[in-house]
Structure 1
Amino acid sequence: MRIIEVTGSVADFHDRQIPDDLTEAEVWLFRPAQRSLVLGSSQDESTARTAAAAAAGVSVVRRRSGGGAVYVDPLRCLWLDVVLPRSDARWSEDVRASAYWLGEAWMRALRAADFDASLYEGGLEKTTWGRLVCFAALGPGEVLVEGRKAVGISQRRTRAGARFQCIVYDHWDPWDVLDLVDLDPDDQHRAAAELADVAVGVGGRLDAVREAILQELLGG
């Protein structure tokens, strides 16, 4: 597995294709150029309050993998993609189980950084806010710290392979997303209250977690 560092716009990064001739797994370590709200592939552009996002200096883009909206801040998150060719021994035709190996790597990395981490092996959670906000629900292979979601993973599969998009925050604040999506004020405040404790960040240890997960991936 090799690492490729990418800096630029979130939109351009999401437009990157899995090379048809990919033969070796890659880690795409991404450093976003600006804050962004990333909508899932099934979300309509009207999901976002584009005027509010523009006023806050936040770009709105869509990814090709599923799930709810994700807030990206270059100063507050660790974002990397893992790209796996179909020829890799870790490839699985079972979509649900296909991210378990990656989740296990994240779990070991977080434990190495002294977090109480565990792997979620259930199906995609159906929660009140899960279709709107990525961190409001758990998906197969995602990782929890002390029972709360800490690593979000979305997946896109093509004929060439699979692209797993992973994000970890320094701290979890549901208002990062809720301030930028189309909800009436009552629903907005209800969502904020219900989502306050569903996820967790890693505090000031993003650098340590980045080094730990790269060590896991590159050594595996």
Structure 2
Amino acid sequence: MGADLVAGRTAIVTGAAQGIGLAIARLLHENGAKVVLVDLAADLAGQAAAGIGGDRLLPLACDVTDEASVEQVVRQTVEEFGSLEIYVNNAGIARDASLRKMSVDDFEAVMNVHLKGSWLGVRAASAVMREAGRGSIVNISSLSGKSGNAGQTNYSAAKAGIVGLTKAAAKELAHKGVRVNAVQPGLIRSAMTAAMSPQAFAEREAAIPMRRAGEPGEVAGAVLFLASDLSSYITGAVLEVGGGRFM
């Protein structure tokens, strides 16, 4: 059961069809929010909304790398629900390869989805929020953006960039009542980590002080905190959800 921490507010969550994004959408909804579930494929967004169930849900297709697509989602959200108080930049992809073998296309694809997509989301959401004088934007970074991972020069660079984006946007928007924060998940059980070999996963897990991987719902809890008034005096912060790794 939710505690209604964001009751009556409207949230957009990108990459909401599965994994961390779906967990975030579900928890915000349980806590009273009207939630727009955004994904590249409309049918997957619809299935995710049906899985959550109930009203106050709107599935929409969106290419987060496309300016017009992102702005259209924001417009539809305001038209449907009348406001926008929460925006979560969660959409992401992985195209892992060594620096020597990574193609320019794979580097650009990851940078575009994670970094450009987050920038477009921050810009479109804040345009609505600053006029209302309130709002919370949460960007999903990664501990890969703090420490760097071999084979992920594209992903690590993008996730580090999201931290810089978060802090710069927070400084620009604070006087308008809009907060911008980031969450840095560590090793979380998701479709992305499921693609790792059992040996690689076990090695990563063994390096975590808490000796276990995290669950999507644990990342969602951090997002809910930053989206709610419990964090009303927090902006430009980076909250690590990694079981103590890289302390």
Note whether the superposition's TM-score is higher than 0.5.
no
Provide the TM-score with structure 2 as the length reference.
0.29
Provide the TM-score with structure 1 as the length reference.
0.31
Structure with greater strand share of residues: 1
Higher relative contact order (CA 8 A, sep 6+): 1
Structure with greater helix share of residues: 2
